[in-house]
A and B are shown apart, each in its own frame.
Chain A
Amino acid sequence: MNLGVFAWKSLRRSPIRTAFKAISIGAITAIMLVWGCLNAGLGNLLEATATSFEIGEFQLHAPGYLSNPDIYATLDHAEKWQAALLQDGFLSAPRLYGSALGAASSLSAGVQVRGLDLEREAQVTRIERFIDSGSWLTSTKPNGVVIGKLLARHLHLQPGQEMVLLAQAADGSLANTVFLVVGILKSVNSEIDNRAVYIQEAAFREFFLIEKGIHELAISRVDQNQPFSTAELRLRQLVIKPDLGNELKSWRQLKPLLAKILDLLAVSANFIFIFIYLALGGLILNMTFMSIYDRRREFGTMQALGMGPGQMVLLILAEAGWKSLLSAAIATAIGLPLAFYLARTGLDLSLMVDHLSVSGINLEPIIYPQITLLNIIKPIAFMMLSQLLFAIFPGVEVAVMVPVEALSPH
C-alpha cells in the first residue's frame, strides 16, 4: 500500500488525537500568521510615515546643502530636472527652506519656513492629509500657513489667527510679514511639530526674496512596484553629474536609524518565527513520542510483517506531513479571516498607548496588517518544516524497534 495512504488511515484511526494536534498547532500558526502581517504592517507604517509625510523616497540637493543648509545653496533649473525625472518615471516636488522667527501676540519661537509647490507636493507626499485642525494650504489663500502641532500650542495659535514671520531675507534685509494660520498639523515628528511653518512657494520667494532655485527636490517612483534599488540606480544615472556635484539621498540614507529599525524588524521577525517553532517542536516531539509508545505493538507488527526501517521512518514522516497539512488548513481558516478583518479595521493600540513614536517619527497608534503571499506562506512553511523535522527523531526510534520487544506485553 502507498505509505501516504497508509499514514492517512493511521491518523483516521485516532481522529480526536489527530484533531487536537492539528487544531492546537494550527491555532498557534494562525496567531503567527496574523502577527507576521502586523509586524510587516508596522514596518510599512514607519516607512510610509517617513516618506509620505516628509521625505519622499529620494531627495536631491545642491552640493553641501544637507551638511550646511544655507539659504543660498540652491539647485538651479528645477523645472528642467522635474521634466526629465517625469520622463523617466519619477514624480518630484520642489521645496524651499528658511529660518525665521514666528510670533503671535507677545510670544515668539524659532521656526523653519517650508515653501511648497502645492500641486507637485501632493504627487510626492501626503502631508496635506495630516491636518489636525483647519485645512491645508490652498491657492485661494496665498498668505496662509500651516504649522506644527507643538508650535501652535507654544504660540497659542488656532486656525484663523495671525502669525508674524520675521527673518533675514536673501539680500540681508529684514523680511517681515503677517500670515494667516489656516491649519495645524497632527503630530508628525519632533522637528515638524516644534518648528515647521508651511507656506506656498510663491509666498516663500516673496518673503525671503529668492527669485530662482530650490533647496530640495523630493522624488518618488511613479510605479511603486518598480524595485527600489533599480529605481535608485536609474535615478543616480539621471541626476548625478560630476560637473554639478548634486547630492542624491534615498530615504534610507536620510533616515538611517529608521532604516536600521526596519531591517531589524524584518530580521527579528524571522528569529521570532524560529524560536516559536523550536518551542512548538518540543511539543510536537512530545506528542509524537507519546503516540509512538501508544502504538508500539502496531509498529512491531508492521516490522514483523516485513516493513523495513526506512519505510517506518517514511511512515512517521508521512503522518507528520498529513498533520502539518491539516494544521496549515486550520491556520489559514483562522488566521486569514482575522488578518483581513484587522486590515479593514486596524489594530487600535490607543487603549494601551497614547501615541507611538519610533526614531523620532510619531505614528498613529493603529496598525494595519500587511497581507502578502509571503506573509501568509512564511509562518505556515515554518510550521510544516518544523513538524517534519521534529518527526525524524521519533521516526528513527520506530525504525530501530526490535519487533519481538515491541510485541512483548512487558
Chain B
Amino acid sequence: MIPQYTRSVPLRSRRFGVLLLLHLTIASVPLGIAKDAPKADAEELKKVLSGVDKLWSSKKSEADMTMTVKTSHYERALKLTLWAEGDTQALVKINAPAKEKGTMTLRLGRDIYNFLPKIDRTVKVSAAMRSSSWMGSHFSNDDLVGSCHLAKDYDATLVEASKHGKTTLWTVDLVPKSGTNLTWSKLRLVVEKERTIPISQTYYNERGSKTRTVTFSDVKELGGRQAPTKISVTPADLPGEHTDLVYVSLRHDIKLDPDFFNVDNLKSH
C-alpha cells in the first residue's frame, strides 16, 4: 500500500499501502441513492468516484515519501521510495533508518516478497501473515495486495451532501458488490465533489464495527496533479496511535527496466 501511495498522485498503482487504502475508499463505482438522502445523479456520483480513483493512477511512477508511526510502545520514522507499474507491480525500498536501509517489499500480483539485506535473503510472505503489520505501521501486508477498483467493485450510495463555501462535501457509503472478495464490509468516503479529492475514508469490518479511518490532507500539486500529500491512518481500537505517510516528491511516466519488478533482481536495486 505504501508504495502505491508513493507512486501516484497521480499514482497509478493503487494498491500499495496508503494508495491501496485510498483506492479502496475511492474507487467504487455505482450508485444507488439512499432514500431521504440528498439526490445525486448516478452519473455524477460515478464521475466523482472515478475522479478520486484516477487521482493516484499512472502507468509508471516513482515517489519519495516519509512514513512516521506512533504507537503506545514506539515511534519510528522511515524514508521510502516507491516504484509502481500498473495495478499489480510495486516495489518499496527503505532508505532510512540505517538499520533497515535497503530492505525492500515487492508486490507481484497477489504475492509479496521481502528482500532482507542484513541476511541477503528474499522471503515470500505467506498468506497466514497477510494480516500482520507492514514495517511496524498500521498498514498490513494485506493492504499491499488488496487490489480493487472501487468503481467496479463497490456499490455506492450518497448519504449526505453539505456545502462549505464554494466546496461541496459528499459522504458516500461503499459496499462491496456480491462476488467480490474484499476485506471490508463497508467504506464511508467523504469527498470534495468539485475537485474529486478525498477527505477521509472509514473502514468497517464484517460485524459493522469501525476499524480504522484514513484521512487525506495537505493538498498540493504533486506530479502535475492536485492531490493530498499526507495520508494518516488511525486504528479505531488503538486510541492515540497513527501512521502518517507523506509524499515528498512524485514523478510520473518514468522509464523502468522490463525486469525492474523481478524477484531475482531485488538485490541490484
Contact = CB atoms under 8 A, between A and B. Distances in A.
Contacts of B73: 72, 170, 172
A108 B123 contact: yes
A174 B115 CA distance: 11
B76 A171 contact: yes
A176 B119 contact: yes
B99 interface: yes
Nearest to A172: B136
Contact of B71 (A99, A103, A166, A172): A172
22 contacts: A101-B125, A103-B123, A108-B124, A108-B125, A109-B126, A110-B126, A110-B129, A168-B135, A170-B73, A170-B74, A171-B74, A171-B76, A172-B69, A173-B76, A174-B103, A174-B114, A174-B135, A176-B116, A176-B121, A177-B119, A178-B119, A178-B121
Contacts of A106: 124
Nearest to B116: A176
B160 interface: no
A107 B113 CA distance: 11
B74 A166 contact: no
A176 B104 CA distance: 13
Contacts of B135: 168, 172, 174
A48 interface: no
B132 interface: yes
Interface in A93-115: 99, 101, 103, 106-110
Contacts of A101: 123, 125-126, 129, 132
A164 interface: yes
B130 to A, nearest CB: 9
A166 B119 CA distance: 11
Contacts of A166: 114, 116, 123
Which applies to chain A's interface (DSSP): helix, strand, loop or mixed? strand
Contacts of B97: 173
Contacts of B133: 168
Nearest to A102: B126
Interface string A58-76: 0000000000000010000
Measured as residues with beta carbon below 8 angstroms from the partner, the interface class of chain A is 20 to 34
Nearest to B114: A166
A168 B134 CA distance: 8
A172 to B, nearest CB: 3
A368 B100 CA distance: 54
Contacts of B103: 174
Contact of B136 (A103, A108, A173): A173
Interface string B2-46: 000000000000000000000000000000000000000000000
Interface in B207-226: none
B128 A110 contact: yes
Contacts of B71: 172
B118 interface: yes
Contacts of B126: 101, 108-110
Please give me the 7 A-B residue pairs with the lowest Cβ-Cβ distance, nearest first.
Answer: A172-B136, A110-B128, A108-B126, A103-B123, A176-B116, A172-B74, A172-B76
Contact of A109 (B100, B128, B136): B128
A122 B71 CA distance: 37
Contacts of B136: 168, 171-174
Q: Which of A107, A164, A170 has the most CB of B within 10 A?
A: A164
Nearest to B69: A172
A164 B116 CA distance: 10
**Residue with the greatest number of chain B CB neighbours at <10 A, chosen from A109, A164, A173:** A173
A72 B74 CA distance: 11
A106 B124 CA distance: 7
Interface string B92-128: 0000010110010000000000101011010111101
A174 B100 CA distance: 7
A106 B69 CA distance: 30
Contacts of A107: 124
Nearest to B121: A164
B50 to A, nearest CB: 36
Interface string A295-314: 00000000000000000000
